[in-house]
Amino acid sequence: MVIFPLDEQKPSLITLMVILAMSSLGFAILGFVIGPEGTRDLGSGHQVELIRPEMPKLGELGEYWTAAGYLTVQREQDYSVQTSSAQGSEVWVQGQEKLVLVPSRHDLSLSEAILQLTSGFLEQGWMIQLEAVEHGYILGFWGSLPGLEQRVLAYKWQVELVNPRNYDYYFGGLISVMGEPFDPEGFRKGTPESPVLAVIIDDWGYITLAAEALTAYPLPLTMAVLPHLADSPEVSERIHAAGHELILHQPMEALDGSLELGPGGITAEMDADEVKAQLKENLASLPLVAGLNNHMGSLITSDPTVMTYVLEVVKELGLFFVDSRTSTSSVVPEVARQVGVPYGVNNLFIDNESDVEKIKAQVRAGLDLAQKQGHAVIIGHVRPATSRALWEMIPELIDSGVQLVPISRLLHVE
* C-alpha distance from residue 306 to each of 225, 330, 332, 335 (Å): 21, 12, 10, 10
pLDDT at 10 (0 to 100)? 34
Q: Which residue has the higher pLDDT, 47 or 324?
A: 324
Tell me what the pLDDT averaged over the chain comes to.
Answer: 85
In a domain, 23, yes or no: no
Report the distance separating Cα 378 and Cα 375, nearest Å: 10
Report the distance separating Cα 194 and Cα 185, nearest Å: 6
In a domain, 22, yes or no: no
In a domain, 33, yes or no: no
Report the distance separating Cα 42 and Cα 39, nearest Å: 9
Same domain as 122, residue 229: no
What contacts 149, CB < 8 A, 6 or more positions away? none
In a domain, 307, yes or no: yes
List pLDDT tens digits, range 18-55: 333 333 333 333 333 334 344 445 454 545 566 777 77
Report the distance separating Cα 314 and Cα 337, nearest Å: 13
Same domain as 391, residue 300: yes
Mean pLDDT of 254-263: 93
Of 144, 161, 178, the residue at which a domain comes to its end is: 161
Same domain as 326, residue 229: yes
Handedness of CA 98, 102, 106, 107 (dihedral sign): negative
What is the CATH number for 219? 3.20.20.370
Same domain as 90, residue 152: yes
Same domain as 237, residue 137: no
Quick check: 11 pLDDT over 90?
no
In a domain, 67, yes or no: yes
Mean pLDDT of 63-92: 83
Report the distance separating Cα 223 and Cα 295, nearest Å: 13
Of 142, 161, 180, the residue at which a domain comes to its end is: 161
Report the distance separating Cα 102 and Cα 398, nearest Å: 10
List pLDDT tens digits, range 166-220: 999 998 765 555 555 566 655 555 555 679 999 999 999 998 989 999 999 999 9
Q: Are 271 and 245 in contact (CB under 8 A)?
A: no
pLDDT at 62 (0 to 100)? 74
3-state secondary structure the chain: CECCCCCCCCCCHHHHHHHHHHHHHHHHHHHHHHCCCCEEECCCCCEEECECCCCCCCCCHHHHHHHCCEEEEEEEEEEEEEECCCCCCCEEEEEEEEEEEEECCCCCCHHHHHHHHHHHHHHCCCEEEEEEECCEEEEEEEEECCCCCCEEEEEEEEEEECCCCCHHHHHCCCEEECCEEECHHHHHHCCCCCCEEEEEEEEECCCCHHHHHHHCCCCCCEEEECCCCCCHHHHHHHHHHHCCEEEEEEEECCCCCCCCCCCCCECCCCCHHHHHHHHHHHHHHCCCCCCEEEEECCCHHHCHHHHHHHHHHHHHCCCCEEECCCCCCCCHHHHHHHHCCCEEECCEECCCCCCHHHHHHHHHHHHHHHHHHCEEEEEEECCHHHHHHHHHCHHHHHHCCCEECCHHHCCECC
Same domain as 200, residue 144: no
Report the distance separating Cα 366 and Cα 92, nearest Å: 52
Same domain as 270, residue 200: yes
Report the distance separating Cα 196 and Cα 183, nearest Å: 12
Quick check: 14 pLDDT over 50?
no
pLDDT at 4 (0 to 100)? 40
Q: Which residue has the higher pLDDT, 272 or 413?
A: 272
Q: Are 410 and 196 in contact (CB under 8 A)?
A: yes
Same domain as 217, residue 151: no
pLDDT at 188 (0 to 100)? 57
Question: Residue 386, by phi and psi: left (phi above 0), alpha (psi -120 to 50) or beta?
Answer: alpha
In a domain, 13, yes or no: no
Quick check: 114 pLDDT over 70?
yes
In a domain, 30, yes or no: no
Which range of residues forms the domain containing residue 335?
193-409
In a domain, 16, yes or no: no
Q: How many domains does the chain have?
A: 2
Quick check: 122 pLDDT over 70?
yes
Quick check: 334 pLDDT over 90?
yes
Same domain as 346, residue 223: yes
Same domain as 197, residue 156: no
Same domain as 276, residue 138: no
Same domain as 295, residue 203: yes
